[in-house]
A and B are shown apart, each in its own frame.
Chain A
Amino acid sequence: MEKDFEQLPHTADIKIRVYGSTLEELFANAVVGMFQVIRPLVDGCTVINDRVVCESLPIKRAVAVRSFDQISLMVDFLSEALYLSDVNNEAYLAAEVHELSNTFVSATLHGIKVRGFEVVEIKAVTYHDLEIKEIDGTWQADIVFDI
């Protein structure tokens, strides 16, 4: 997979387009995109090509989320990562999805302690414009974050 996510224009909030060769990869890349786009301030990591790159991500968080449908699952999954980030002062820059259906996801988030976020803090994951679709074998999701 060449590109895992990119930022799209939005007047006030942050909108990203996430890519994945599988749905599992799409969900994992959505977590990475959500944190990379607000640039975590992390001691010992470097910024290369607008990405925070760390030699290791020592923190592991296991998450399991059940929801109503695929769209809600994406919102709830990312909201879970956001919640964990806020209460533990962490950012998750990699994720492995272990199990995924339209209504359930289990994953391990790999993260690191942060001092803050250089760009902005994400308040919430919204349903607005949220689409998950497959185009020529690549999964794609547009996600708007309230900031």
Chain B
Amino acid sequence: MIWKLRKLMVHGKLILCLTFKYKKGYVMADQIIKREDLVQIDEYTYEIPSSYRPDMLVPARVFMNERMMDDVLNDRALWQLVNVATLPGIQKYAFAMPDIHQGYGFPIGGVAASAVDEGGVISPGGIGYDINCGVRLLVANMNTEEVRPYLQKLATRLFHKIPSGVGKGGKLDFAPDELDKILGFGAKRMVELGYGTEADLEFCEEHGCMAGADPDLISDRAKKRGSDQLGTLGSGNHFLEVQYVDEIFDESIAQVYGLHKGSVTVMIHCGSRGLGHQTCTDYVRIMMGKLPEWGYVLPDRELVYVPFNSKEGRDYFAAMAAASNYAWANRHLIGHWVREAWQEIIGESAQLNTMYDVSHNIGKIEQHNVNGIEKKLIMHRKGATRAFGPGRPENPAKYMNVGQPVLIPGTMGTASYVLAGTQESMDVAFGSSCHGAGRRMSRAQAKKSVRGSQLREELEQSGIIIRSDSDPGLAEEAPTAYKDVEDVVDVVTGAKLARKVARLKPLAVIKGG
């Protein structure tokens, strides 16, 4: 290892830092942020000043409370956030939502805006391999007591009808021409094919079809992986959950969203499957090959980026949009099958309407006001949800006056939340919120602390039906492995990132069969 005191010119700033040789770049030694490195801005906001590390272009801000601090400081998530603050063109702050934990490249819960006209860049590692991983919420026209007699049968039917697809693919296999149409038009194409309804599209971010998608920029390998995986959940923290509205916090917004105390909901959490994973892998590789040409010094190679206004930048964005469309088509198809299962078990009168569908791993071009100036920004949200306030044209017309629904899946034994984007959120963190409870414990630790079979028994005893054929998989997703979702949501509302609307509690958890 070669240690050196180096003078670096980064974006016009002369910086001095102690570095060691690390492959082709240089990395500073200390990768753990300590409590004393943080400056408290207000009750819920902490800052790592840009003086912390010489290559930071802006300060890093994390939303959390004192109780969560040990978990947040426990891994290298904040170090990764400091790395994000070095992104060329970055505006205001590198943000971390309260569900932050260590990821790769960006931390999970990371949000960064890079200005298109100020040398802005796009980073696949700031969006994630599971492009447009997200959440769809369906609301039933029945309450908990009406659905309860059917729950066991419903859970079993959903388990068999919605495959995980892992190691075996899904139920449908799309020909190349058809797959291209799905990549180009997302959920819209699925409606043309007879799956789901126009109303599903109305209540979906980007109406389920992101503009600028180019199927030709998705590799044949990605398409091969994706041809038979539409309508599959995947594994890990992806799930299908039947829930009920346990509490309403904002009656007027809940009414607009169609939520009432006791309403039954179905939450779908999944992404773009192998097609998205391969697309990100492909473009990380392409960008890696371009690094010498652009001459960027990266603190972590997984952060690799290119200028948005380069061929590679534009190509990646168009490919990412196509993979996003695949993910929306995926959740849309699963939603359609959930609806079918619902009617097969309960009867024709049982309706499920899409309340909203949000992405929490995505890049977007958005217009935001930055210190009084309107700017076109490349928004990276990785493990973070858009949370636009009232009046933004991106919101569905029905929700225009109340703000965008923000869907926060919790853990199996606790609760999920529906929040609403706020006007303040637009100013605080470019209209962004958290995406879940956020892990606090490694999967290995979780498995050591709880046995899957025991957890299954405990959850069933507390009245939650579980359908999953993997006990280790269950143990890894144990509620204790996550931060307290109540804490996370309290910080989100305290920091004015979003407003609490409703809390949802699980009735049945289905991990793909």
By a CB distance below 8 angstroms, the chain A residues around B121 are none
A9–B447 alpha-carbon span in the complex (Å): 12
Task: Name the residue on B nearest A91 (C-beta).
Answer: B167
Using A11-B442, A128-B302 as known contacts, say yes or no to A89 and B473 having CB atoms under 8 A apart. no
Taking the closest CB of chain A, its distance from the CB of B246, in whole angstroms, is 27
In the bound complex, do residue A11 and residue B439 qualify as a contact, i.e. CB atoms below 8 Å apart? yes
Contact B441 A11 (CB under 8 A): yes
Interface hits, A1-47 → B, CB 8 Å: 7, 9-14, 39-41
B277 pairs with A123, CB closer than 8 A? yes
Q: Whole-angstrom distance between the alpha carbons of A75 and B125 in the complex?
A: 14
A76 within 8 A of B: yes
Contact at A72–B101, with CB atoms within 8 Å? no
CB-CB < 8 A to A124: which residues of B? Answer: 129, 277, 280-281
Within 8 A of B (CB), among A81-104: 83, 86-87, 89
Q: Is the CB of A126 within 8 A of B104?
A: yes
Contact assessment for B103 and A120 in the assembled complex, using a CB-CB cutoff below 8 Å: no
- What are the interface flags for B109-142 relative to A under an 8 Å C-beta threshold, 1 for contact and 0 otherwise? 0000000000000000100111000000000000
Is A144's beta carbon under 8 Å from chain B? yes
Q: Which of B69-128 contact A (CB under 8 A)?
A: 74-75, 77, 101-105, 108, 125, 128
Given known contacts A118-B470, A128-B300, A83 and B278 CB-to-CB distance under 8 angstroms: yes
Q: Mark B158-189, 1 if CB is under 8 A from A, else 0.
A: 00000010111100000000000000000000
How far is B23's CA from A49's CA once the two chains are assembled, in angstroms? 36
The residues in B between 221 and 243 inclusive whose CB is less than 8 angstroms from any CB of A are 221, 224-225, 234-236
Q: Are A72 and B288 in contact (CB under 8 A)?
A: yes
Given the complex, which residues of B lie within 8 Å of A123, measured CB to CB? 129-130, 277
* A134 to B: closest C-beta gap in Å: 13
Find chain A residues with CB under 8 A from B304 CB.
Answer: 127
B153 contacts which chain A residues (CB < 8 A)?
none
Does B277 contact A116, Cβ atoms closer than 8 Å? no
Q: How far is the CA of A61 from the CA of B78 in the complex (A)?
A: 41
Bound-state CA distance A79–B219 (Å) is 14
Question: Which of A67, A120, A129 is the one whose CB lies under 8 Å from B473?
Answer: A120
- CB-CB under 8 A from B236, the residues of chain A are 120-121, 147
Query: Most B CB atoms within 10 A — which of A119, A120, A123, A129?
Result: A123
B103 touches A13 (CB 8 A): yes
Q: How far does the Cβ of A106 sit from chain B's closest Cβ, in whole Å? A: 18
- Counting chain B CB atoms within 10 Å of each CB, the highest count among A69, A86, A87 belongs to A86
Secondary structure class of chain A's binding surface, majority of residues: loop
Complexed CA–CA distance, A14 and B235 (Å): 14
**B residues within 8 A CB of A41?**
167
Are A114 and B285 CB-contacts (below 8 A) given A11-B442, A128-B302? Answer: no
Task: Quote the shortest CB–CB distance from B154 to chain A (angstroms).
Answer: 23
Residues of B within 8 A of A118 (CB): 470, 472-473
Q: Which residue of B lies closest to A38 (CB)?
A: B235
Smallest CB separation, A75 vs chain B (Å): 8
The answer to whether B368 has its CB under 8 Å from any CB of chain A is no
Q: Which of B167, B280, B444 contacts A89 (CB 8 A)?
A: B167
Residues of B within 8 A of A127 (CB): 104, 284, 288, 300-302, 304
Size category, B interface: 35 or more
Whether A116 and B24, one on each chain, are in contact in the complex, defined by CB atoms closer than 8 angstroms, is: no
B295 contacts chain A at the CB level, 8 A cutoff: no
Q: A146 near B440 (CB under 8 angstroms)?
A: no
Q: In whole Å, how far is A67's beta carbon from the nearest beta carbon of chain B?
A: 8
A115 within 8 A of B: yes
1/0 per residue, CB under 8 A from B, across A43-69: the answer is: 000000000000000000000000111
B442 with A76: CB separation less than 8 A: no
* A79 adjacent to B473 (CB under 8 Å): no
Q: Does B357 contact A (CB under 8 A)?
A: no
Select from chain A the residue with minimum beta-carbon distance to B164.
A116
Given contacts A126-B104, A126-B302, contact A69 B23 (CB under 8 A): yes
Most B C-beta atoms less than 10 A away, residue of A68, A116, A117: A116
B420–chain A nearest beta-carbon distance, Å: 27
Residue in chain B with minimal CB distance to A14: B443
Chain A residues whose CB sits within 8 angstroms of the CB of B285 once the complex forms: 67, 72, 75-76, 79
Minimal beta-carbon separation of B377 from chain A (angstroms): 25
Please determine whether A10 and B442 come into contact, CB atoms closer than 8 angstroms: yes
* B104 and A146 contact, CB distance less than 8 A: yes
Most buried by A among B104, B105, B277, B472: B104
Please tell me if the beta carbons of A68 and B289 are within 8 angstroms of each other in the complex: yes
Known A79-B281, A120-B476: A11·B102 in contact at CB below 8 Å: yes
Q: Which chain B residues border A39 with CB–CB below 8 Å?
A: 472
A86 near B225 with CB under 8 A, answer yes
A-B CB contact pairs (8 Å), 28 listed: A7-B444, A9-B442, A11-B74, A11-B442, A12-B443, A13-B104, A67-B285, A69-B24, A72-B285, A87-B274, A89-B168, A116-B164, A117-B235, A118-B473, A119-B443, A119-B472, A119-B476, A120-B443, A120-B473, A121-B164, A124-B281, A126-B125, A126-B302, A128-B300, A128-B302, A146-B128, A146-B129, A146-B130
Q: 10 shortest A-B CB distances, which residue pairs? A: A128-B104, A116-B167, A127-B301, A124-B129, A126-B104, A128-B302, A123-B277, A121-B235, A127-B302, A121-B166
A: which residues have CB within 8 A of B? 7, 9-14, 39-41, 67-69, 71-72, 75-76, 79, 83, 86-87, 89, 114-121, 123-130, 144, 146-147
